[in-house]
Amino acid sequence: MCNSYQDLPDAPWIREAEIFGPPGDEEITFSCPVCGADEPEDFYFDRGGDICGCSECMKRKDAYEYMYDKLMDERRAYAGYR
């Protein structure tokens, strides 16, 4: 039985802070698992939730711009340009 509040054990997060220091002191660093770029802006995921790249190793393009460029390339190839 506890005779005073001093006999009560500390909460787990208080003991952890006493041992390891207060939370937030460590700096979080990360890198892309595909290309290894340090701290990219964004990660890109597939439908399954797996990382398929980052803002450093993948290029983002507007769908309309992509289809327009593809159409123009086909027209140039048909006309004999390149």
What confidence tens digit (pLDDT) does each residue in 19-58 have?
887 777 667 788 999 999 999 999 999 999 999 999 999 9
Identify whether 17 is part of a domain. no
The parent domain of residue 31 ranges over 26-82
Residue 45 located in a structural domain: yes
Q: Is residue 67 part of a domain?
A: yes
Query: How many structural domains is the chain composed of?
Result: 1
- Asked whether the predicted pLDDT for residue 2 surpasses 70, the reply is no
- Burial code (b: 16+ CB inside 10 Å, e: under 16) for 44-77 equals eeeeeeeeebbebeeeeeeeeeeeeeeeeeeeee
Q: Looking at the whole model, is its pTM more than 0.75?
A: no
